[in-house]
Amino acid sequence: MKEINRRQFIVRTAQMAGVAACIGVVWQTMVRGEARAAANALRPPGALPETDFAAQCLKCGQCVRACPYGTLSLSSFSDVAPVGTPYFMARNIPCEMCVDIPCARVCPSGALDAKFPDIEKARMGIAVIDEENCLSWLGLRCEICHRVCPLSNKAITLNIVERGSSKHAKFEPVVHSEACTGCGKCEKACPTEQAAIRVLRPEFVKGKLGEHYRPAVDGHFQTQTIQNNTDIAPEYKPTHKQKAPGLEYFNQELPEGKEGRP
């Protein structure tokens, strides 16, 4: 627990510094009129509908501090949501769906429902699958979104389709908006370069399903999937040069399990 506490401490300190820095600009932008939040800027659980939320929110940052996972941020000047309002991006840190909903509990303004009863009723967003780029829809055995979904088999189910000629069934993930909370764990975990499953705020999905609809993939062809190897996510860059790869690692103490060694 020590490490996690320490991480939380650092995150919180940084967040509070951010809040303090924002205060000066908050007033200016507020009087300047409404900005609009991007479709993938998700609000905390129990939030009012977007237009009311932006108006009601006091920009106090209490929900951000209450979040134990560092999921929430307060938007800054040129961010994806109106300045000072809380939001999260699923691809960065998704919502862990705490049963006691600490973020909503501390909201003093009513922008978040402090008495929101059940985290599984939250509708922060709805996951949408780009079937054309979804590995499972292309016929691979991936289904990572289904596995990480906290409401697996309710919010995301697998539609299992036989493909007689190939002898292999296809496992197509399907999102059910009536159960999807929009927590974003699926988008976070999606292994494609750009997530093939994305969580958007409900108003961006509802009534527009037609636009995302894709005709069924032609059943007659064999999917050929090419995994290109020429590009790897930049976030894994090593920090400093070593004399030989692995050296620093090997010269560290045994990892944490050690303390438990009898």
Interface positions, 193-222, toward other proteins (CB under 8 A): 193-194, 214-218, 220-222
d(CA 236, CA 227): 19
Instruction: Please identify which residue in the block is written with the tokens 């069924």.
Output: 216
Residue 145 has, within 13 A of its CA and on its CB side, a CA count of: 37
Which of these, 125, 126, 157, 162, lies nearest to 143 by C-alpha position? 157
**Do the Cβ atoms of 193 and 206 come closer than 8 Å?**
no
Residue 130 interacts with other proteins (CB under 8 A)?
yes
Would you say 31 or 233 has its CB closer to other proteins?
233
Check residue 48 for interaction with other proteins (CB under 8 A). Answer: no
Assess 31 for contact with other proteins (CB under 8 A). Answer: no
**Is the Cβ–Cβ distance between 37 and 196 less than 8 Å?**
no
Residue from 147, 177, 179, 203 that binds other proteins (CB under 8 A)?
147
Q: What are the structure tokens assigned to 23, written together?
A: 């205060």
Establish if 143 lies at the interface with other proteins (CB under 8 A): yes
Pick from 33, 117, 210, 252: which binds other proteins (CB under 8 A)?
252
Sketch the per residue contact string, 86 through 115, with other proteins: x for CB under 8 A, - otherwise. ----------xxxxx---------------
**Minimum CB distance to other proteins smaller for 105 or for 147:** 147
